[in-house]
Amino acid sequence: MLRSAWTLAIEALSWMELEGLSERSALARASGQLGVEDSEALGLAHRLVFEVVRRRNLIDLLIDSVLAPRSLEDLTLGVRAFLRLYVYEAVVLGGGMEEAEKVARMGRSVLGWRELHGVEEALGELLSVRPDDLLKGLGDEERVALLTFHPAWFVGYCLRLFGRDEALRLLEGSMEASPTYIRVNTLRAPEEEVLKRAEAEGVTLQRVEGLRYAYRVLGSRRPLTGTRSYREGLFYIEDKASCLAAEVANPQPGASVLDLCAAPGAKTTQLAQLMGNEGDIYSVDYSRRRMETWRREVRRMGVKIALPVVADARKSLPLKSPADLVVLDPPCTGTGTFGSTPSAKWRLTENSIRNMADIQWEMLQACASHVKEGGHLVYSTCSITVEENEALIERFLKLRPEFRLEKAQPRIGSPGLLGQTECQRLYPHLHGCDGFFVAKLSRG
């Protein structure tokens, strides 16, 4: 099992670097490629990959300090992946010489001794490196970036936006993944029945105050996706922040709803649930591949009122009539999800915020014409940047004075910035979930 897990982890980390895959996509590809199905091996590989990627900047600094004048870039993908895993297990976790020798033997077993021959000396030197010594003399932003495992540009952004004390709390709160949440699906069975079924399968839940059907997972005997309750569509694995957006939208039974950027289906299935499967939902996404996932999830959850539309939300949509409710959850930088998807923070730059805001602006303008008089528009992202959120809403309201902000309810988060107190923000360190923004606007 242990060797399978390490082989998986090395392969997944290599795929991530080669093709820019996320942790989950890389692990799925590696497990399929290697034919690994053992749940314990998959679980250990998952932990190793996520924890290494989470600390990548500090781990790479430690390795490069020993390899100099060479660097990680001079090594093969497999050796890079192994060295990162080695530093995490033997140095970051403080495993010491015994653990280091065990990990080194594992690396030779997986990659072969010839592959590792050129870095054997570095393995011993890495045990004597003191991270604190490497931090001396660094600037404040760079030092905080290494201590909190974030890119320096993001640290600087947070310091400017929130001030030092609050920024440090946010950065520290984003170092780890948020708790896992599920949404009980009352389209399949009454809430109490779903809770009993989940309990019988060893899933321990705690209700989320202020939200309907949302529960925090305190424990589970097996992976949630491996339970019968999940397969039968009795619940959807969905972050608390995401659940809030649909509740703010508050769709009514019989309404017409336009769900933009709908795949993989979390919003569509929750909107249908809140509507009691009465009305019409037009779910739009540009990706046919993602819409296949949407179709599977809609079937699993028992949704009967959703129609898939493959189209680009930045352009005119093939819809005849305006909708009572338009819900836009556009692509974003995902700066609020760095804890649960750590690879994202190493793919982004500060320019990514501006580039993404341009796309979001196009979508926001395009979807406004699909809101009927007296209807509502709900905009949300899993980003904490102002450019992707309040600044966009401010610009939109100046251009489209027929829209006005409404108070986003239920209130489980913090007020929006730039004076937009009607909006809501969620933060990992304050609300125990992904970072999030949601605004509700009415027309007319």
Which of these, 319, 351, 307, lies nearest to 333 by C-alpha position?
351
Q: What residues have CB less than 8 Å from 188, skipping those under 6 apart?
A: 194, 232, 233, 234, 301, 302
**Chain-centre distance for alpha carbon 70:** 34
Q: Give residue 154's pLDDT.
A: 98
Angle, in degrees to the nearest 10, between helices 390-399 and 350-368:
40
pLDDT for 128-169, tens place per residue? 888 888 898 899 999 999 999 999 999 999 999 999 999 999
382 is catalytic: yes
Q: How confident is the model at residue 1 (pLDDT cuts 50, 70, 90)?
A: confident
Q: Is 279 helix (H, G, I), strand (E, B) or coil?
A: coil
Is 90 exceeded by the pLDDT of residue 444?
no
Is 90 exceeded by the pLDDT of residue 2?
no
Q: How confident is the model at residue 37 (pLDDT cuts 50, 70, 90)?
A: confident
Q: Are 279 and 255 in contact (CB under 8 A)?
A: yes
Q: Give residue 48's pLDDT.
A: 96
Determine if residue 374 is left, alpha or beta; phi over 0 gives left, psi from -120 to 50 gives alpha, anything else beta: left
Q: Give residue 319's pLDDT.
A: 83
Is 90 exceeded by the pLDDT of residue 98?
no
Q: What residues have CB less than 8 Å from 371, skipping those under 6 apart?
A: 322, 323, 325, 326, 377, 403, 443
Which of these, 313, 421, 444, 294, lies nearest to 371 by C-alpha position?
444
- pTM of the predicted structure, to 2 decimals: 0.94
Q: What Rg value do the Cα atoms of the chain yield, rounded?
A: 23
Reading the block at residue 117, the tokens are 């021959």
Distance CA 61, CA 116 (A): 20
Q: How confident is the model at residue 36 (pLDDT cuts 50, 70, 90)?
A: confident
pLDDT for 325-363, tens place per residue? 999 999 999 999 999 999 999 999 999 999 999 999 999
What domains, with CATH codes, occur in the chain?
A: 2-134 (1.10.940.10), 137-173 (no CATH), 181-237 (3.30.70.1170), 240-443 (3.40.50.150)
Q: Residues 368, 374, 378, CA angle at the centre, nearest 5°?
A: 45
Q: How confident is the model at residue 90 (pLDDT cuts 50, 70, 90)?
A: very high
What mean pLDDT is predicted for residues 384-407? Answer: 98
Q: Give residue 317's pLDDT.
A: 84
User: Peptide bond before 401: cis, by omega within 30 degrees of 0?
Assistant: no
Strand order in the sheet with 181-184: 203-207, 214-220, 181-184, 235-237
Is 90 exceeded by the pLDDT of residue 437?
yes
Backbone angles phi, psi at 415, to 5 degrees: -65, 155
Q: Which of 158, 332, 382, 433 is catalytic?
A: 382
Residue 210 corresponds to which amino acid? Answer: G
Distance CA 104, CA 79 (A): 11
Using a pLDDT cut of 90, give the percent of the chain over it.
88
Q: Token pair 């966009």 is at which residue?
A: 392
pLDDT for 194-229, tens place per residue? 999 999 999 999 999 999 999 999 999 999 999 999
